[in-house]
Amino acid sequence: MAYRKLFSIGTGILFIPLFLYILGSMGKDRQGHIYATDIDQNILISNPESKYGIVTDSFHMTSAKIRWHQNLSELLRGHDLGDHTVHEVAREIDRVFDVTRFKAGRPCHFFYNRYDTTRKVSYFVYENTPKEFVRVNLQGDIQVRLMERETSLVGKVCEDTIMNSLWATMQEADVNPNLALELSEIYAWTINFFGLDRGDHFKVIYEEEYVDSTSIGIKNIQTAYFEHKGQKHYAIPFEQDSTLDFYDLEGNSLRRQFLKAPLRFSRISSGYSHSRMHPILNYRRPHRGVDYAAPAGTPIHAIGDGQVIDKGYTRAAGYYIKIRHNSLYVTGYNHLSRYARGMAEGVRVSQGQTIGYVGSTGYATGPHLDFRFWKNGHPINPLKVEAPPVKPVKEENKEAFAKVKERWLKQLNEI
C-alpha cells in the first residue's frame, strides 16, 4: 500500500474574522464586480492574470521549443526581429545569462500586443528551468531580467514495501521517482541500493516544490526510516556546527568522510572543465576530472572504502582503475604507471589504501593523476563533492538531539 499525505498548518483560521470584516465592507455592482466601498466606489478591484511578470490581458502569446542546433539569432529572426534588434537582444541577455546555455527542447514564448496591428514582439521569454527564466522587454529600450517563478512547498509522506526496485516502487505509488535518488543519497553509506530485497520497507517525510500545480522536484527530505534485510535504519536530521546532517537513533552520522585528495603530496595542474584545450589532441573537449601533478611512482590512495569494479588500459586513459564506494559514488584514477599489489576487479579496498602509482600512460604529457568522480553515473567536479565530517552528535548537543529525534519518531510512527 502506498500513499501520500499533505501537511498544512491551519494558522489561516485566525484570519477568517478579519477576512469577513473586509468582505463585509465591500459590495457588488449589478455585474457582480467587487468594489471597495470604503475607498472609492468608482474603482473596481481586479486581479488580472499575470505570467512571467507580464499582465497577459493585453497580449497574445505564442510558444515554441528551441530546436536542435538552433541559435538565439535564428530563433529571434523567425519572429520578424531585424538584425540590429537581434544583436542588441543577444548582447543584453549575455549581461545576465550566458546565451550559449540556451538548450534545445526548452520552451520559449513571444508576447504580442493585442491592439498593435504591426504585430511587433513586445516580450520574449526563455525558460531555462521550470523555475528560472529570462524575460526580454522589447518595448522601447531593451530590458533583460533573469527571474524566478514563485514556488510553493508541499509537505508529503510516502510509505511502501519494495516488491521490485525502489525506483519502480515510487512510480507504482505515483510518487516523484526522484525521491528514490534523494533516499539513496541519504543512505548511501549504510544501504546498498543495488542489493535491495523484496519486502524491504520504508517511510519518508519530505517536501516537494511546485510551480502552480506542476511539480519541479523534491526540495528536501525531512526524515526517513528504511528497513533493509531486517535492520532498521533511521535518518534523523540535526544541525551541528552549522551543518545539517542525518544521524541514526544513537546520534551517529549516516555519512563517511572522503579523503580530500587521492595523493598525499601534489598540486592541481588542470581542473574540471566543460571545454579545455587538450594538450595532445590540440582541440577543445570536456575534461571531466581533476589533474594532480606528481612525480612518477607517487602512491595513489583510494579516497574511501569501496570495491574495484574496473581495471585495464585504454589509449586515452592509459592504465586506469575504478572504485565503487556505494550505490551513489564511483571514482576513477587514470594514467597510472602500475597497480598496487593485489588490485583486481571485485577486490575490496579501504579508505587511504594504496591502489596504484602515478604515471604518464595514455594521452599524457607528463606524470600526473587524472582523478574522476561520478554520482549516479554522471560526472561531477571532484573538488565540489561535499564530504561533511564524520562526527557523532556532540555530548553538549545530545539533549537537543533527543528532542528532535522524539518529534520525528512520533511523526514516522503515525504513518
Closest CA relative to residue 391, chosen from 255, 187, 249: 255
Place of cell 531555462: 128
126-148: average pLDDT: 93
Q: What is the pLDDT of residues 304-320, one digit of tens each?
A: 999 999 999 999 899 99
Q: What is the pLDDT of residues 44-77, one digit of tens each?
A: 445 567 889 998 888 999 999 999 988 888 888 8
**Chain centroid to CA 51:** 25
Torsion region of 285: left, alpha or beta (phi above 0 gives left; psi -120 to 50 gives alpha): beta
CA distances from 339 to 54, 118, 246, 358, 397 (A): 62, 71, 36, 9, 45
Strand pairing report for 284-287 and 273-277: antiparallel
Please tell me the predicted confidence (pLDDT) of residue 13.
Answer: 39
- Higher per-residue confidence, 366 vs 9: 366
Q: What is the pLDDT of residues 112-129, one digit of tens each?
A: 998 887 788 999 999 999
Closest CA relative to residue 414, chosen from 236, 205, 214: 205
pLDDT band at 389 (very low <50, low <70, confident <90, very high): low
- Beta partners for 221? 206
Please tell me the predicted confidence (pLDDT) of residue 14.
Answer: 40
Q: What is the CATH number of domain 267-384?
A: 2.70.70.10
pLDDT band at 274 (very low <50, low <70, confident <90, very high): very low
**Weakest-pLDDT range from 162-166, 187-191, 210-214, 287-291:** 287-291
CA distances from 57 to 46, 50, 61 (A): 12, 8, 10
What contacts 397, CB < 8 A, 6 or more positions away?
238, 240
**Weakest-pLDDT range from 107-121, 374-388, 396-410:** 374-388
CA distances from 331 to 8, 328, 371 (A): 42, 10, 7
**Class in CATH terms, 1-10+150-255+388-415:** alpha beta
Please tell me the predicted confidence (pLDDT) of residue 255.
Answer: 81
* Percent of the chain scoring above 70 in pLDDT: 82
- CATH topology classification for 53-148: Nuclear Transport Factor 2; Chain: A, (3.10.450)
Q: What is the pLDDT of residues 233-266, one digit of tens each?
A: 999 999 999 989 999 999 999 887 788 788 875 5
Please tell me the predicted confidence (pLDDT) of residue 161.
Answer: 94
- Higher per-residue confidence, 157 vs 264: 157
Query: H or E segment at 16?
Result: helix 16-24
Q: Where are the domains of the chain?
A: 1-10+150-255+388-415, 53-148, 267-384
Please tell me the predicted confidence (pLDDT) of residue 200.
Answer: 94
Q: What is the pLDDT of residues 346-385, one digit of tens each?
A: 999 998 899 999 999 998 888 999 999 999 898 998 888 8
* Most confident by average pLDDT, 41-50, 90-99, 367-376, 395-404: 395-404
Please tell me the predicted confidence (pLDDT) of residue 293.
Answer: 86
Please tell me the predicted confidence (pLDDT) of residue 364.
Answer: 82
pLDDT of 225 above 60: yes
Kindly report the pTM of this predicted structure.
0.62
**Chain centroid to CA 267:** 30
1-10+150-255+388-415 and 53-148 have identical folds: yes
3-state secondary structure at position 354: strand
Torsion region of 230: left, alpha or beta (phi above 0 gives left; psi -120 to 50 gives alpha): left
- What's the CA gap between 291 and 327, in Å, rounded? 25
